[in-house]
């Protein structure tokens, strides 16, 4: 997923914004969806996008904070999720040199 958002430690980053990439892998039991062919029985990726976008739209200083909010939001909306891996990257971060991106990866596993 690609977003233009206002995350960063400096006030300028939070005002001007930057490009961000979110890569997300979700694990959930999907046996019912395999049988029923019904959207209610799976994880709707349009809803996932909407939830991620909502969290990306709320400015934060740290990538870790944004990523944690995304994971919490997804788990709350889709309690059947058993595991998530999220990579959040700030493209061309302002570090005084040429850097493609700064990224973090969070992984959460939940008991059912």
Give the pair of three-digit tokens for residue 30. Answer: 């999907």
H helices of 1-112, in order, are 11-16, 31-36, 45-56, 63-77
Closest CA to 112 of 81, 84, 74: 81
Phi, psi of 77 (to 5 degrees): -75, -35
Catalytically active residues are 90
Give the pair of three-digit tokens for residue 58. Answer: 């709320």
Contact between 71 and 22 (Cβ < 8 Å): no
Strand-pair partners of 105: 87
């Amino acid at each position: 997923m690609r977003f233009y958002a206002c995350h960063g430690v400096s006030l300028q980053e939070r005002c001007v914004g930057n490009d961000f990439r979110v890569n997300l892998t979700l694990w959930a039991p999907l046996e019912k969806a395999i049988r029923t062919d019904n959207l209610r029985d799976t994880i709707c990726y349009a809803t996932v996008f909407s939830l991620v976008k909502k969290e990306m739209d709320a400015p934060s200083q740290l990538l870790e904070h944004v990523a944690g909010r995304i994971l919490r939001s997804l788990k709350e909306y889709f309690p059947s999720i058993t595991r998530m891996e999220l990579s959040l990257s700030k493209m061309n971060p302002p570090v005084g040199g040429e850097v493609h991106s700064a990224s973090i990866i969070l992984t959460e596993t939940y008991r059912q």
